[in-house]
Amino acid sequence: MRKDWWMAAVAGKLLGGALLSGVLLGACMGPAQADPVKFRIGWASIPGSRAGFMLEKPELLHHLNKSYTIEPMHFASTPAELQALASGGLDIAQLAFSSFGAAIENAHMTDLRLISNELEDGVPGYASTRFMVLKDSSIKTIDDLKGKVVATNGIGSGLDMAMRYILRQHHMEANRDYTDVAINFPNMKAALAERKVDMVSSILPFMYDPEMVKIGRVLFEQGAEVGPSELLMWSARAPYIAAHRAALVDLMEDNLRMLRWYSDPANHQEAIAIVAKLTKQPAASLDWVFTKRDYFRGPDGAPDLKAVAANLKMEKELGYLKSDIEVPKYADLTIAADAVKRLGPAK
């Protein structure tokens, strides 16, 4: 009996020592490393959406496979991304101002937050959507569109809203003073050339198509008429941001480092080669990419909230929204700001 007690006591001391050693060893090694957060990021087009080509330069992504990994997910449109974000099938969506307004008012996604910009139309000195007519057309001014057929990419899209708003400023309403039809961007040139429509809306890269430039002329540009418009913005939901904020800052730091690399004239030819490979277009036709002939990409990541507010006001005046949306309430600019603190301001 005494022998059994003694052996148990010895075993207890040995076990206690082992546990103490394990605790001390764990303290020396620090906390265990958590698995990287997997970000499912939506994208619609290249080079418009950075997520579509983010993995092409992994050496620029210093935190990749450490604090985060990414799964780029392709969608046909921003409304499709919004639907995936609402259902939990996407973590970060790239939304247009029109989709953003619909998310707040119609889908009641009051926890939606804008965290970064992607593309902005109409910033002075950069590209803006062109509304084009044939060179030999009798249409010389916006007022001349009365009674004509005009084309956008989809009724109710952000671009369509901008066009309707511009024509309203000239006292014209769709289906009363002109006919608005939906045509996919790749088919705009043929529709104009065949005189099926009198005016088309032309975005990048289609506005620089040599054949389009040959047959068409610019009647007006969106930016000149309505000012800057947020074409794409990175968006996520507040609870998700709170749960993964540190990894999101790492992702944003890498995202902005990548953007600055692509925008550096010293890397222009390599950047064009990457876009050409992914889009299967000749490099010679992509010389505008990441230059001032491209849409504006904010190097410090913050979305233009004043532009978003103006866009939503336009949307409300057209009847697509019923209420005023307080844009700053639905933005979290701290993620991009913290990333910039690490990188320093853009040169």
For 222-250, write each residue's pLDDT tens digit: 999 999 999 999 999 999 999 999 999 99
pLDDT at 161: 92
Whether 13 shows a pLDDT value over 50: the answer reads no
Whether 325 shows a pLDDT value over 90: the answer reads yes
In this prediction, residue 155 has a pLDDT band, given cuts at 50, 70 and 90, of confident
Which of 11-15, 102-106, 159-163, 188-192 bottoms out in mean pLDDT, i.e. has the lowest? Answer: 11-15
Kind and range of the H or E element at 220?
A: strand 216-221
pLDDT at 50: 92
Phi (first) and psi of residue 177, to 5 degrees: -110, -15
Q: What digits encode the pLDDT tens for the residues 159-210?
A: 999 999 999 999 999 999 999 999 999 999 999 999 999 999 999 989 999 9
Mean pLDDT estimate for the chain: 90
Whether 212 shows a pLDDT value over 70: the answer reads yes
Task: Give one DSSP letter per residue of 102-145, joined into a string.
Answer: HHHHTS--TTEEEEEEEEEE--TTS---EEEEETT-S--SGGGG
SS3 19: helix
**Could you tell me which residue, 167 or 28, shows the higher pLDDT?**
167
Q: Model pTM? A: 0.84
Q: Provide the 10 A C-beta neighbour count for residue 236.
A: 24
Mean pLDDT calculated for residue range 38-59: 94
**Cα separation of 208 and 183, whole Å?**
18
**Cα separation of 183 and 150, whole Å?**
10
Phi (first) and psi of residue 263, to 5 degrees: -85, -10
**Cα separation of 83 and 87, whole Å?**
6
Whether 61 shows a pLDDT value over 70: the answer reads yes
Q: What is the DSSP letter of 56?
A: G
Q: Provide the 10 A C-beta neighbour count for residue 135.
A: 10
Residues in the chain: 347
Q: What share of the chain is helix, strand, coil (3-state, %, to 5)?
A: 50, 20, 35
**Cα separation of 177 and 218, whole Å?**
21
In this prediction, residue 72 has a pLDDT band, given cuts at 50, 70 and 90, of very high
**Cα 343 versus chain centre, distance:** 21
Kind and range of the H or E element at 37?
A: strand 37-43
Domains 37-121+229-343 and 130-226 equal at CATH topology level: yes
Percent of the residues in the chain that have a pLDDT greater than 90, as a whole number: 82
pLDDT at 1: 44
- Top CATH class of 130-226 equals alpha beta
For the structural domain made of 37-121+229-343, what CATH number should be given? 3.40.190.10
Count the helices and strands in the chain (H runs, E runs).
12, 10
Whether 17 shows a pLDDT value over 70: the answer reads no
- 99's CB contacts (< 8 A; 6+ apart) are 78, 79, 81, 82, 158
Q: What digits encode the pLDDT tens for the residues 156-165?
A: 888 999 999 9
Q: What digits encode the pLDDT tens for the residues 263-291?
A: 999 999 999 999 999 999 999 999 999 99
Whether 20 shows a pLDDT value over 90: the answer reads no
Phi (first) and psi of residue 43, to 5 degrees: -150, 155
pLDDT at 78: 87
**Cα separation of 179 and 105, whole Å?**
28
Q: Token pair for residue 271?
A: 């950047």
Whether 344 shows a pLDDT value over 50: the answer reads yes
pLDDT at 76: 84
pLDDT at 74: 94
Which of 19-28, 66-75, 138-147 bottoms out in mean pLDDT, i.e. has the lowest? Answer: 19-28
In this prediction, residue 77 has a pLDDT band, given cuts at 50, 70 and 90, of confident
In this prediction, residue 33 has a pLDDT band, given cuts at 50, 70 and 90, of low
Structural domain boundaries in the chain:
37-121+229-343, 130-226
